[in-house]
Structure 1
Amino acid sequence: MSRSQALQSPTSSVGTYPGMGQASTRRPRLLLMGQRRSGKSSISSVVFHKMPPTETLFLEATTRIQKDPIHSFMDFQVWDFPGQLNFLDPTFDFDHIFGELGALIWVIDAQDEYLEPLSKLHSTILAIQRFYPAINIEVFVHKVDGLSDEYKLDTQRDIMQRTQDELSDNGLDNVQVSYYLTSIYDHSIFEAFSKVIQKLIPQLGTLENLLNILCSNSGIEKAFLFDVLSKIYIATDSSPVDMQSYEICSDYIDVIVDVSEIYGYDRKPQGQISSPTSEAPGEAQQEEEEAPLEASSIIRLQNGMVLYLREINKYLALICLMRKDSIEKQGLVDFNVQVFQNALQQVFEVGR
């Protein structure tokens, strides 16, 4: 691996990506709701705090709203709401809870009776639609790791049908509700959160177009733009996402971060210029030329495929899956990735 010094540790606190969150102090809020012991706190701990799934067994039940600010490429908040509280009670400030909400994530334990939590979900959707119809509603059919494939799908279909019927009965036929089968013991929870976060990114369409152009001009079969902090991918090209490809790219992030923590070293922040009074102009120019570039790495897999990683900045990393003959023209790939990186910077500069 070359220049593997710049990727952030998952526990590091990083700032906002230029253009994502700096134009306003508002932070999108992800609200985790559901019945007690449905797995809300475990999800938050695994995805955003790198807790091993087996250790979530020892988490205590949430007794009050846990407000967790996430500092990454886009600053946002994750609120873990206790399942035993009735937030529709008049004593709760409805506007304070839902006023700046980006997405409501309702977690349903697929291994337990779900009629009661489903009823509360319906009540919540009806209440939200009256005042905040633009909120994204996401349903995680959770803890499906111990269920058969047939039972998973049957459960998901039943939840979808009951919800659709309830909303139709109340005259809400156009409410968009998304459903995901999730588990903290595999990559499905990261895949689901990727889809949730992508809906909050105004520049998503432009990012996908840029990745499509990069793939077509570089012989890349699949490309992901990952948030290093959480291993959520904020964008990918338009080709279908193969779960196995996503998993290997996600695991690649862990390898690179671990190596960077051992062998990495600090560098000056981008845009930092040496003081002209401290050294001669020639020395400053030489230091700038010798400054380490973005981290990059190439791994050749046994099946003949190649994983190509390039750090975009300390928040984001581009990971591409390509065939061995494509990487033989590495100079072309490197050049195209640099063009993509420059275009990405311009996209977010415009959004500032």
Structure 2
Amino acid sequence: MSYGDDENGGFAVAGSFPKGFGYGPDDTETEQPADSPEDKPRILLMGLRRSGKSSIQKVVFHKVSPNETLFLESTNKIVKDDISNSSFVQFQVWDIPGQIDFFDPTFDSDMIFGGCGALIFVIDAQDDYIEALARLQMAVTRAYKINPNIKFEVFIHKVDGLSDDNKIETQRDIHQRSTDDLAEAGMETVHLSFHLTSIYDHSIFEAFSKVVQKLIPQLPTLENLLNILISNSGIEKAFLFDVMSKIYIATDSSPVDMQCYELCCDMIDVVMDMSSIYGARDDGAFDGNSSSIIKLNTNNVLYMREVNRHLALVCILREDSFDRQGLIDYNFMCFKKAIQQVFDVRKQVASTNNSDGRAAMATSHNLLHHNGSVEGAAS
């Protein structure tokens, strides 16, 4: 592992997400004012009381141990959590009390659902979920009429207490019942996404990753760049991580294997712990030269490189492919520059929808051209 400051003692910044989606520059390093909390994308956590909403929020975004969540009190009012202090992904998570009445005159549905990017409904898989499905149908119907652009996600939670067969059967039953309920309400066009989750493993982080990715407009471009990177570097799998939350904001098009994802998360934990203890700064953030190499007993290598102080690229590749580390490092620098170009162009030319696509194609072409040149030279 290596940790070192760059020449100026600062951090590399790889651009930003478009302001309209609440993804701003690294405000600790720029003098630009941060977006107000109300301007950021909003993710709602809904569900019945004791379904696990607050525990999910604490484990994913506040590094609380799953066992410590057993002592959390039930939520009695809307809790707004601004996820932007030490993270690249910038949005708000609203924890909505389970006992809330959508038809209560004091419940401002327009305000709550109007600025919502995603609605996550948490269902306790170890409890009788008939009442929860009724509340889900009520929440989706109400929210969709106010804001049809909301992404609806269902977390079938606490599945750590179920067998594999019971998990599949529970998911199938909830999927069928909720679909039928929405069809009866005339909401056939509404799409629900289902995730099996638990705070005692990495499933909750993967599920939240998929939710956050739907709020990132540059996701297809990032996936394309990752595909080009791995195809020209002998890499088997690559993730672009937000290191503080362990949410991956993009990965290549190959299927995600949970064991690989867990290894990458564990690697980030190790590096962040080392940085917080021995790093030159006390905020635990990456610096301009942060990297880590872990060789596994399966003849695979985990390789991590910083993209900026909050983003990291974590790759899995075979040990023989890592013999050409110089090529991989050069391709990574091309990838890092490409990300910066995509975000910069998105900021500069936000008035036209096609500009980002043209810039992405040009950036991808340049990355492929550079990589091809290096491979030709290396051969």
1:222, 1:178 → 2: CA distance?
24
TM-aligned CA deviation for residue 18 of structure 1:
3.3
1:33, 1:185 → 2: CA distance?
20
Gaps of at least 5 residues in structure 2 are: 23-34, 348-379
Aligned-partner residue type, residue 2 of structure 2: S
The corresponding residue for 1:132 is 147
Q: Deviations over 1:125-171 (max 9, x none)?
A: 11122121110000000000010111111111111111111111222
Total equivalences in the alignment: 320
Query: Which residues of 2 match residues 1-352 of structure 1 at below 5 A?
Result: 1-3=1-3, 18-20=15-17, 22-23=19-20, 25=35, 26-71=39-84, 72-266=87-281, 293-352=288-347
Aligned-partner residue type, residue 346 of structure 2: G
TM-aligned CA deviation for residue 293 of structure 1:
3.6
1:142, 1:161 → 2: CA distance?
17
2:218, 2:147 → 1: CA distance?
22
2:5, 2:312 → 1: CA distance?
13
Alpha-carbon contact 2:5-2:288 (below 8 Å) kept: no
1:17, 1:131 → 2: CA distance?
36
1:82 partner SS:
coil
Q: Deviations over 1:234-282 (max 9, x none)?
A: 0000011011000000110000001111121149xxxxxxxxxxxxxxx
Gaps of at least 5 residues in structure 1 are: 7-13, 268-291
Alpha-carbon contact 1:30-1:77 (below 8 Å) kept: yes
Q: Deviations over 1:307-351 (max 9, x none)?
A: 000000011000000001111111000000000000001111122
TM-aligned CA deviation for residue 3 of structure 1:
2.3
2:64, 2:54 → 1: CA distance?
11
TM-aligned CA deviation for residue 5 of structure 1:
6.4
TM-aligned CA deviation for residue 294 of structure 1:
2.4
2:172 partner SS:
helix
Q: Deviations over 1:34-90 (max 9, x none)?
A: 000000000000000000000000111111111000012131000111111113322
Aligned-partner residue type, residue 121 of structure 2: W
1:351 partner SS:
helix
Q: Structure 1: which 4+ aligned runs deviate by more than 6 Å?
A: none
The corresponding residue for 1:272 is none
1:299, 1:152 → 2: CA distance?
33
- Identity score, percent: 61
1:20 partner SS:
coil
Aligned-partner residue type, residue 226 of structure 1: F
Alpha-carbon contact 1:20-1:73 (below 8 Å) kept: no
Q: Deviations over 1:197-222 (max 9, x none)?
A: 00000000000000000000000000
Alpha-carbon contact 2:288-2:308 (below 8 Å) kept: no
Alpha-carbon contact 2:18-2:346 (below 8 Å) kept: no
Alpha-carbon contact 2:137-2:178 (below 8 Å) kept: yes
Aligned-partner residue type, residue 254 of structure 1: D
1:351, 1:266 → 2: CA distance?
31
1:346 partner SS:
helix
Aligned-partner residue type, residue 216 of structure 1: S
1:218 partner SS:
coil
> How much is the aligned-residue C-alpha RMSD, in angstroms?
1.8
1:225 partner SS:
strand
1:186, 1:261 → 2: CA distance?
24
Aligned-partner residue type, residue 19 of structure 1: S
1:167, 1:17 → 2: CA distance?
42
When normalised by structure 2's length, the TM-score is 0.82
1:88, 1:174 → 2: CA distance?
23
1:168, 1:225 → 2: CA distance?
37
